[in-house]
Chains A and B, each alone.
Chain A
Amino acid sequence: MRSSASGRVATGLGLALLAACSTPSTPSAVEEAPASTAYTIWDPYPQYDATSEWVRLLEGCGAQAGVTVERTGYDTSDLTNKALLAAQQGNSPDVLIVDNPVVSTLAEAGVLTTTAENKLDVSAVSPNLLGAGQSGGETFGVPIGANTLALYYNKDVLDKAGVDPATVTDWAALTAALEKVTTSGGKGITFSAIGTEEGSFQFLPWFWGSGANLTKLDSPEGVAAVTLWADWLKKGYAPNSVINNTQTTSWQEFATGEYAFAENGTWQLANAEKAGFPYGVIPIPAKAGGPAPAPTGGEFVAIPVQEDTGRYATSQKLVACLTNGENSLKTTTTLSYIAPTDSVQQQQVAADAKLGVWVEAVKVAKGRTGDDLGTKYPKISEPMWGAVQAALSSSKPPQQAMTEAQSAAASATQ
């Protein structure tokens, strides 16, 4: 008896491990189906434990809907695979919170319900934020909050170099400022150009800010953006370590107090307060001036397809609770995000004026999977980060790197 029961568990384990192909994966994909009054929520915030504000908010929403909430936090990169596996085995969570560029992938896989099916109200959400969750005219979720990139600056370093951050409004002014900083003995700018999606995320504001389009990587505008970064490295305005920097290690460089600028996100605000030097934030400049469109970060709340469609009504209540009106303020404050709706954004700025720059940045931000790219985006992003790495490490000149990336992207997306 005992051996047959453990055998079944073992088979399940083998299955989960297997389908995950050889990566070390925890066997959590084979959980028991929840009882009817228990609703499962998966989120990518493992840093919040059961006593955190975030989890209490989830439990509160569950209580309002008259159900108990079973919440599991996964590592962001792990969650996509977990969601796909769970869908394959027919035990998707009731509510799934995922990084926005993943939404189109899951939608393509048929894992998520549309707003037409689940009756979520998305009318108040800013269209540029909603874009990442739309494909083929359907909407597959609600943004829970947004973040994006801007330039943090170290006031001490800029003062020493005699640079006024207010003048840094286009590429030429930024490069000139970096030159002044370097000659005054400071270090210029740090960012993340690592060979993962993170590298593309950081490169996009410059790429889009130059006027380039993801459908044509090797346009003169696209090459100009890579050349800008490559030249900074060549002239020593940016450290060579950016090629291997994650956004976290890039922040650690900025936190040493030696760098004038750092490209980073809303989520570093709390760390900036702790950095021990006066800092400020300016939008990332476009080539010809004005703020460049940065990619939107942040998660979407979605309702995965269930066999028992009767569950959608309660799931919808849970999602609405997390994203509606005053709760949205609470959610975004808890997660330190910018709200996806105008009205809540205004409340946020009223409460904390420092968020003003970020609200502006979020307004001009663009979804990576928008422009009707959807699941094509990842196939363009990979050659793009490869080209950036090739140009920065001088293994290929920018033009050649982008031309090769374009032909790789074209053959992958046809």
Chain B
Amino acid sequence: MRVRLRSGQWAAWAFLAPVGLYLVVFYAYPLYRNVELSLRNYTVRSFVRGDAPFAGFGNYLKVFDDPAFGPALWHTVVFTVVSLVFQFTIGLALALFFVQNFPLSATLRALFLVPWLLPLIVSASTWTWLLNSESGVVNAALGVAGLGPVNWLTSPDWSLWSVTIANIWIGVPFNLVVLYSGLQAIPASVYEAAALDGANRRQRFWRITFPLLRPVSAITLLLGLVYTLKVFDIIWIMTRGGPSGSSTTFATWSYRLGFGNLVPSFGPGAAVGNLLIVAALVFGLVYVRTLHRREA
């Protein structure tokens, strides 16, 4: 059967086609495949032949049952929350500092962007050298200050904190840039009025800056959350998720299951990956909902 379309509609569909195709090829299909991968019992043999038996939620149960699940979940939560809190606080403090526009502030601000511009392999390797137990600069500095060396990357008590510190350092510039532009959007007249009414600095921040910055803060935190949940490179390069799993998050665990072993377990690896996607999705929906409620 044929549906007759007017030429205008044809043009509309033609304009939609590229983006539609793009979304299907690069988003919908990969997502579908990842879900399918997590629901089948793949071995190397069935991966090649494409005849893996359907396993239902078997892979998910296996993942939940794994003794590594609890610690990995906890590490993911700690890594994400601590990273976000510090990235946001430091980023906001720096943005407030730079918005005052003193001489050379533009240059200094550009310098703060460096961590963001560096390839992750470079920054992660640099942190690895800095934090090396034997020959690292950090331990040398601690020694000068009269403090004992810390096994930053090789002690189960410290490894998670080390990768978190590195991740905070990498994430601060992003927060700085977004919050800085948010601050510039707040009209100066509001501050002038507040100053005339006798509001002090602290009051101006909590009563004007913070509330007016809320939409920007929300999107910064959401993007930061999605980004931090999937951080893989830094942890993998610095500790490989070790020693003995003490800095393993869902992202590194998923990689380890899928590719970190000579015999890959694609099913459980994909299952862990999907858990991450669901987590990001939930927070995304919460964001959309609160946005919606405020607009309504």
Whether the Cβ atoms of B243 and A11 lie closer than 8 Å is no
At the interface, yes or no: B156 with Cβ under 8 Å from chain A?
Answer: yes
Scan residues 142-177 of chain B and give those whose CB is less than 8 A from a CB of chain A: 151, 153-156
At the interface, yes or no: B30 with Cβ under 8 Å from chain A?
Answer: yes
* A-side contacts of B29, CB under 8 Å: 11, 14-15, 18
Partner of A375 from the list B18, B153, B263 (CB cut-off 8 Å) is: B263
CB distance from B184 to the nearest CB of A (A): 35
Partner of A7 from the list B25, B154, B262, B266 (CB cut-off 8 Å) is: B25
At the interface, yes or no: B209 with Cβ under 8 Å from chain A?
Answer: no
* A-side contacts of B45, CB under 8 Å: 108-110
CB distance from B265 to the nearest CB of A (A): 9
User: Within the assembled complex, what's the spacing in Å between the Cα atoms of A10 and B22?
Assistant: 8
Partner of A195 from the list B240, B255, B263 (CB cut-off 8 Å) is: B240
CB distance from B19 to the nearest CB of A (A): 12
User: Within the assembled complex, what's the spacing in Å between the Cα atoms of A237 and B79?
Assistant: 34
Whether the Cβ atoms of A240 and B243 lie closer than 8 Å is no
User: Within the assembled complex, what's the spacing in Å between the Cα atoms of A10 and B33?
Assistant: 16
At the interface, yes or no: A239 with Cβ under 8 Å from chain B?
Answer: yes
User: Within the assembled complex, what's the spacing in Å between the Cα atoms of A375 and B37?
Assistant: 21
User: Within the assembled complex, what's the spacing in Å between the Cα atoms of A19 and B258?
Assistant: 11
* A-side contacts of B41, CB under 8 Å: none
Interface size (A, Cβ < 8 Å)?
Answer: 55
Partner of A17 from the list B30, B44, B243, B254 (CB cut-off 8 Å) is: B30
Per-residue contact bits, chain B 224-252, to A (CB 8 Å; 1 contact, 0 not):
00000000000000011111111000000
User: Within the assembled complex, what's the spacing in Å between the Cα atoms of A111 and B245?
Assistant: 33
Scan residues 1-50 of chain A and give those whose CB is less than 8 A from a CB of chain B: 3, 7, 10-11, 13-15, 17-19, 21-23
Per-residue contact bits, chain A 353-384, to B (CB 8 Å; 1 contact, 0 not):
00000000000000000000001011101100
* Interface range on chain B (Cβ under 8 Å from partner): 35 or more
Whether the Cβ atoms of B243 and A244 lie closer than 8 Å is yes
* A-side contacts of B30, CB under 8 Å: 14, 17-18
CB distance from A378 to the nearest CB of B (A): 4
- The segment from A268-276, A284-292, A315-323, A388-396 found at the interface with B is A388-396
At the interface, yes or no: B70 with Cβ under 8 Å from chain A?
Answer: no
* B-side contacts of A84, CB under 8 Å: 44, 47-48, 264
User: Within the assembled complex, what's the spacing in Å between the Cα atoms of A227 and B250?
Assistant: 31
* A-side contacts of B91, CB under 8 Å: none
At the interface, yes or no: A324 with Cβ under 8 Å from chain B?
Answer: no
Whether the Cβ atoms of A3 and B243 lie closer than 8 Å is no
Whether the Cβ atoms of B156 and A395 lie closer than 8 Å is yes
CB distance from B166 to the nearest CB of A (A): 14
Scan residues 67-112 of chain A and give those whose CB is less than 8 A from a CB of chain B: 77, 80-81, 84, 87-88, 101-102, 105-106, 108-111
Whether the Cβ atoms of B270 and A195 lie closer than 8 Å is no
Given A239-B133, A240-B133, A3 and B18 touching (CB < 8 A)? yes
* B-side contacts of A242, CB under 8 Å: 154
User: Within the assembled complex, what's the spacing in Å between the Cα atoms of A389 and B273?
Assistant: 25
* B-side contacts of A253, CB under 8 Å: 134-135
* B-side contacts of A389, CB under 8 Å: 242-244
* A-side contacts of B266, CB under 8 Å: 21
User: Within the assembled complex, what's the spacing in Å between the Cα atoms of A390 and B263?
Assistant: 23
CB distance from A102 to the nearest CB of B (A): 6
Partner of A392 from the list B33, B243, B259, B264 (CB cut-off 8 Å) is: B243
Whether the Cβ atoms of A195 and B242 lie closer than 8 Å is yes
Whether the Cβ atoms of B25 and A11 lie closer than 8 Å is yes
Scan residues 220-248 of chain A and give those whose CB is less than 8 A from a CB of chain B: 239-244
CB distance from B43 to the nearest CB of A (A): 8
At the interface, yes or no: A115 with Cβ under 8 Å from chain B?
Answer: no
CB distance from A113 to the nearest CB of B (A): 14
User: Within the assembled complex, what's the spacing in Å between the Cα atoms of A17 and B132?
Assistant: 35
User: Within the assembled complex, what's the spacing in Å between the Cα atoms of A253 and B135?
Assistant: 9
At the interface, yes or no: A303 with Cβ under 8 Å from chain B?
Answer: no
Whether the Cβ atoms of A105 and B262 lie closer than 8 Å is yes
CB distance from A257 to the nearest CB of B (A): 13
CB distance from A196 to the nearest CB of B (A): 6
Given A22-B273, A240-B133, A244-B153, A195 and B243 touching (CB < 8 A)? yes
Whether the Cβ atoms of B154 and A23 lie closer than 8 Å is no
At the interface, yes or no: A194 with Cβ under 8 Å from chain B?
Answer: yes
* B-side contacts of A109, CB under 8 Å: 43-45, 47-48
At the interface, yes or no: A117 with Cβ under 8 Å from chain B?
Answer: no
CB distance from B246 to the nearest CB of A (A): 7
Whether the Cβ atoms of B18 and A244 lie closer than 8 Å is no
At the interface, yes or no: A197 with Cβ under 8 Å from chain B?
Answer: yes
Per-residue contact bits, chain B 16-28, to A (CB 8 Å; 1 contact, 0 not):
0110011001100
CB distance from A342 to the nearest CB of B (A): 29
User: Within the assembled complex, what's the spacing in Å between the Cα atoms of A386 and B244?
Assistant: 5
* A-side contacts of B134, CB under 8 Å: 239-241, 253
Scan residues 387-406 of chain A and give those whose CB is less than 8 A from a CB of chain B: 387, 389-390, 392-393, 395-396, 401
CB distance from B93 to the nearest CB of A (A): 33
User: Within the assembled complex, what's the spacing in Å between the Cα atoms of A111 and B270?
Assistant: 23
Scan residues 239-285 of chain A and give those whose CB is less than 8 A from a CB of chain B: 239-244, 253, 256
User: Within the assembled complex, what's the spacing in Å between the Cα atoms of A105 and B47?
Assistant: 12
Give me 12 A-to-B residue pairs in the complex whose CB atoms sit less than 8 angstroms apart, sorted by A's number. A21-B37, A21-B259, A80-B264, A84-B47, A102-B262, A110-B49, A243-B243, A244-B128, A256-B135, A381-B261, A390-B243, A390-B244
Please list the 10 inter-chain residue pairs (A to B) with the smallest Cβ-Cβ separation, ordered nearest first: A195-B242, A378-B262, A243-B154, A109-B44, A390-B244, A393-B243, A389-B244, A389-B243, A240-B133, A378-B263
